[in-house]
Amino acid sequence: MRTLFSLAFGIFFSSAALAQSWQMPQLPQEPQPATIQPANVVRFNSGTPSTSPAFQNKQPDAMAIYEADRRRLEQEQRQEALQKQQILDEIADAFGPKTGSGYAAATLPGNPEAAAYVQAYNQLNNMLTGQQPASLKQAVFIVENAWFDNKMNYAAYDQRIRNLVEFARQKMRQDKADTGNEAKNYMLFRLLSEPLTITDPRTGKKATSTPLHYDFDDFYGREDWTKMFVTKLLNTGYGQCHSMPLLFNILAEEFGAKAYMSFGPSHCFAKYQSGSTFKNVELTNGHITTDAFVLASGYIKASALRSHIYLDTVGLQQQIAFLIGDLAAGYMRKFGSDYFVGRCIETAQKYYPNDAHAMAMKANYITDMFKQSLAQLGGMPKEQVLRIPNMKKLHDAMLASYADLDNAGYAEMHAEEYEDWLKSADEQKRKQDYELFLHYQKTHKPTLSNGAN
For 348-387, the pLDDT digits (tens) are 999 999 999 999 999 999 998 888 888 888 878 888 888 8
Strand segments (E) across 73-157: none
Question: Which element (helix H / strand E) includes 143?
Answer: helix 136-147
Which sign does the torsion angle of CA 38, 40, 46, 47 carry?
negative
Q: Identify the weakest region by mean pLDDT among 131-135, 244-248, 287-291, 428-432.
A: 428-432
Residue 49 confidence (pLDDT) above 70: no
pLDDT of res. 97: 38
- When comparing pLDDT for 54 and 181, which is higher? 181
Band (424; pLDDT cuts 50, 70, 90): low
Task: Determine the average pLDDT of the residues in 33-43.
Answer: 35
CA distances (Å), 277 to each of 355, 365, 439, in order? 22, 37, 14
Q: Identify the weakest region by mean pLDDT among 81-85, 137-141, 168-172.
A: 81-85
Residue 89 confidence (pLDDT) above 80: no
Contact at 8 Å (CB) between 262 and 357? no
Q: Helix, strand or coil for residue 78?
A: helix
Of 360, 372, 370, nearest to 328 (Cα)? 360
Q: Please report, rounded to a whole number, the percentage of residues in the chain having pLDDT higher than 70.
A: 68
Of 309, 351, 332, nearest to 139 (Cα)? 351
pLDDT of res. 222: 67
pLDDT of res. 124: 97
Contact at 8 Å (CB) between 258 and 181? yes
pLDDT of res. 182: 95
Q: How far apart are CA 214 and CA 419, in angstroms?
A: 10
Residue 55 confidence (pLDDT) above 90: no
Helices (H), 242-315: 243-255, 291-295, 302-307
* 136-147 and 243-255 helices, crossing angle to 10°: 140
Boundaries of every domain in the chain: 112-322+426-443
pLDDT of res. 15: 41
Distance of CA 30 to the CA centre of its chain: 16
Of 447, 131, 143, 107, nearest to 319 (Cα)? 143
pLDDT of res. 24: 53
Of 239, 262, 250, nearest to 158 (Cα)? 250
- When comparing pLDDT for 176 and 8, which is higher? 176
Question: Which element (helix H / strand E) includes 82?
Answer: helix 62-95
Within the chain, what is the greatest distance between any pair of CA atoms? 110
Of 358, 327, 401, 324, nearest to 15 (Cα)? 401
pLDDT of res. 86: 59
Q: Are strands 197-199 and 213-214 parallel, antiparallel or unpaired?
A: unpaired
For 94-119, the pLDDT digits (tens) are 444 333 333 333 345 556 778 999 99
**Letter for the amino acid at 96?**
G
pLDDT of res. 83: 59
Residue 279 confidence (pLDDT) above 80: yes
Which class does domain 112-322+426-443 fall in? alpha beta
Task: Determine the average pLDDT of the residues in 322-338.
Answer: 92
pLDDT of res. 90: 54
Residue 405 confidence (pLDDT) above 60: yes
SS3 content of the chain, % helix, strand, coil (to 5): 55, 10, 40
Q: Identify the weakest region by mean pLDDT among 21-25, 143-147, 200-204.
A: 21-25
For 256-277, the pLDDT digits (tens) are 999 999 998 878 999 999 998 9
Task: Determine the average pLDDT of the residues in 36-56.
Answer: 38
Q: How far apart are CA 348 and CA 355, in angstroms?
A: 8
Task: Determine the average pLDDT of the residues in 320-335.
Answer: 94
Eight-state DSSP code of residue 265: T
- When comparing pLDDT for 177 and 90, which is higher? 177
pLDDT of res. 374: 86
Question: What DSSP string describes 398-425?
Answer: HHHHHHHHHHHT-----HHHHHHHHTT-
Which sign does the torsion angle of CA 333, 124, 7, 403 carry?
positive
**Average pLDDT of the residues of the chain:** 77
Radius of gyration of the chain (CA): 27
For 216-233, the pLDDT digits (tens) are 665 555 677 888 899 999
Band (412; pLDDT cuts 50, 70, 90): confident
Residue 247 confidence (pLDDT) above 70: yes
Of 256, 118, 292, 242, nearest to 182 (Cα)? 256
CA distances (Å), 102 to each of 158, 238, 269, 391, 443, in order? 39, 40, 32, 13, 38
Residue 402 confidence (pLDDT) above 90: yes
- When comparing pLDDT for 351 and 80, which is higher? 351
Eight-state DSSP code of residue 120: H
pLDDT of res. 10: 41
Residue 201 confidence (pLDDT) above 90: no
pTM confidence score: 0.73
Distance of CA 237 to the CA centre of its chain: 24
